[in-house]
Structure 1
Amino acid sequence: MTSTSTAPPPSRLADDRFFVPIRPAALRVAAVTAVAFVLGGATSFGQAFLPAELASLANSASGWTMPTAVLVFLSARRRPEAALTGALAFVALTVGYAVVSGWRGFPFDPVVWGVIGIVTGPVVGVAAHALRRRPMEAAVGAGVLAGILIGEGAYGLVVVAETTSPVYWWAVIVLGAVLVVAMAVRLRSAVPVALMGFTTAVVAGGFILAFLALPLVFAAL
């Protein structure tokens, strides 16, 4: 009796575990990029309509990091997809902001922030995707995202406190702390929790230093 099984050989099954079909992945990336473009445009409007206490949401790195991380967390299936989605989302946010700002009569050159998005977007994307992974990866991912939030919150309170409301900066610090606590409850292991705390501190400090250096970067361009 001849077998009619059409199951792929074991080697094929092993390979398939590491790849996502091109079309679904491309559709997910395209959808997230489109949503990010719309959110970037909404950011421009937000600068005019948000209350003073929350106005910094429309003019902050965390204001774009949070939706990007959420979109990647919900959509990406593999690290390469998460990295690509993060980069494209950040660039789309910048371009969307530039398009709507120009339409409103406030021209904005997206080149510098687009480059920043290409560099930092993959980091945010992979960090968001890592929240779904094993404890050590999840710890690092949570530390990166929490570090960005806490770092920018501290930067806002210390460096731009005279021109912005402290409400938003405290809010992102609290949100970063909540992420750390929530992940610590999930991990329930000393080593990953310690790694998460270390990563949070390093990223927060690096964020502050990077933003302090940005004026020099803009001046050189």
Structure 2
Amino acid sequence: MTDSALVPVTSFRVPIAPSAARILFVAAIAFALGGLTSVGQTFLPEDAASLANSTAGWTAPTALLVFSTARSFREAIPAGVVSFVALTLGYAVVSTLRGFPFDPTTWAVIGVLAGPVIGAAAFALRRGRMAAAVGGGLLAGVLIGEGVYGLTVVAATTSPVFWWASIVLGGVLVFVVAARRLRDIRSTMVIISAAAVTAASFVGAYLALGALFAVL
């Protein structure tokens, strides 16, 4: 057989779209961060124990990951879900391996529901003023709302330090977005209003869920 009769063999490749690659990257980092949270509980003070049992504890890294990687709302929404769920699974897997079994079901469901909103809000910070105001207000409202809930509802069984830190972080987010992205009265009022409405809604939703779980 001559060389001309030989048919070149090419390797079979499954191309991965850049958006899918970025979402997979978010999943890997989130899973690792969730696992590190479990390990960190061995060394962190008791005041930070609520980190792994709070929406704010998963909201902040999810928002940072989506903000840093997403290129569109269509990418940010699934990335938010993937990050939130991966954080939970990473924490559950490492905790279980360390001898502290953790059922990720509840927080995974919360991640599926909250992830799209958190992802979209994080990406909105990169858009126009009004989008940034609404997105920033929503993220800040989650942090502030959970802090208020922690200080008023579960204060007897948890340290107030984490809850105050959550409130302060939410306030800092509002200030930074207003100062660096908005810079006008109208959009600044929007971010403040969005944060207040989201915080109040968050507390109300948590109270309703608590009442539902009590009945079940």
TM-score, normalised on structure 2? 0.87
Which stretches in structure 1 are left out of the alignment for 5+ residues? Answer: 1-20
Aligned-pair distance for 1:171? 1.3
- Compare 190-199 and 147-156 and name the one that shifted more: 190-199
In structure 2, what is the equivalent of residue 131 of structure 1?
125
In structure 1, what is the equivalent of residue 209 of structure 2?
214
Deviations 1:36-67 (A, max 9, x none): 11111222223332102222223211111101
Equivalent position to 2:198, from 203, 212, 217: 203
In structure 2, what is the equivalent of residue 183 of structure 1?
177
Aligned-pair distance for 1:218? 4.0
In structure 2, what is the equivalent of residue 17 of structure 1?
none
Equivalent position to 1:83, from 48, 71, 77: 77
Deviations 1:101-158 (A, max 9, x none): 2222232222222111011001011101111110000000000010011111111111
Compared CA separation, residues 217 and 89, structure 1 to 2 (3 A):
farther
Highest CA radius of gyration, 1 or 2? Answer: 2
Q: Output the CA distance in 2 between the equivalents of 1:113 and 1:47.
A: 18
Compared CA separation, residues 112 and 220, structure 1 to 2 (3 A):
farther
1:168 aligned onto 2:162: yes
TM-score, normalised on structure 1? 0.85
1:26 aligned onto 2:20: yes
In structure 1, what is the equivalent of residue 6 of structure 2?
none
Identity %: 60
Equivalent position to 1:152, from 127, 146, 152: 146
Q: Output the CA distance in 2 between the equivalents of 1:135 and 1:74.
A: 18
Aligned-pair distance for 1:88? 0.6
Deviations 1:150-209 (A, max 9, x none): 111111111111222222211111111111112222312222111111110111011111
Aligned-pair distance for 1:84? 0.6
The number of aligned residues is: 201
**Is 1:56–1:168's contact at 8 Å kept on the other side of the alignment?**
yes
Q: Output the CA distance in 2 between the equivalents of 1:28 and 1:82.
A: 10
Q: Output the CA distance in 1 between the equivalents of 2:179 and 2:16.
A: 36
Amino acid paired to 2:65: L
**Is 1:46–1:55's contact at 8 Å kept on the other side of the alignment?**
no
Q: Output the CA distance in 1 between the equivalents of 2:117 and 2:204.
A: 17
Which stretches in structure 2 are left out of the alignment for 5+ residues? Answer: 1-14
Deviations 1:60-105 (A, max 9, x none): 1111110110010000000010001000111111111221222222
Q: CA RMSD in A?
A: 1.8
Compared CA separation, residues 213 and 84, structure 1 to 2 (3 A):
same
Compared CA separation, residues 154 and 139, structure 1 to 2 (3 A):
same
Q: Output the CA distance in 1 between the equivalents of 2:184 and 2:49.
A: 38
